[in-house]
Amino acid sequence: MHEGSVDFDCAIEADGSTSNCQWVAVDGGDEFAAAARRYVQAARYRPATRGGVAVQQADQAIHIEFRLD
């Protein structure tokens, strides 16, 4: 079994996409880090709202865990 995790600090944009993602911590190697970055860039999140309008939310922690059996 191979396990790992990657932590990012990203902004969640008003459209639910991510931007300005930076690795904070990587456990498990570069392959996990690269796969996690691809996932975070492709995923869509529910953005923050202010007054019912979607807004950018900066400095959001995103944690990705891997477990390969």
* pTM attached to this predicted model: 0.83
**pLDDT value of residue 17:** 97
In the structure encoding, which two tokens stand for residue 28, read together?
């498990």
Instruction: For 35, list phi and psi in degrees, rounded to 5.
Output: -65, -40
**pLDDT value of residue 29:** 87
Q: Where are the domains of the chain?
A: 2-68
- Look up the CATH architecture of domain 2-68: 2-Layer Sandwich (3.30)
DSSP 17-66: -EEEEEEEEEES-HHHHHHHHHHHHH-----EEETTEEE-EEEEEEEEEE
**pLDDT value of residue 26:** 95
Token pair 């492709």 is found at 42
Tens-level pLDDT at each residue, the chain (69 residues): 788 999 999 999 999 999 999 999 999 888 889 999 999 999 999 999 999 999 999 999 999 999 888
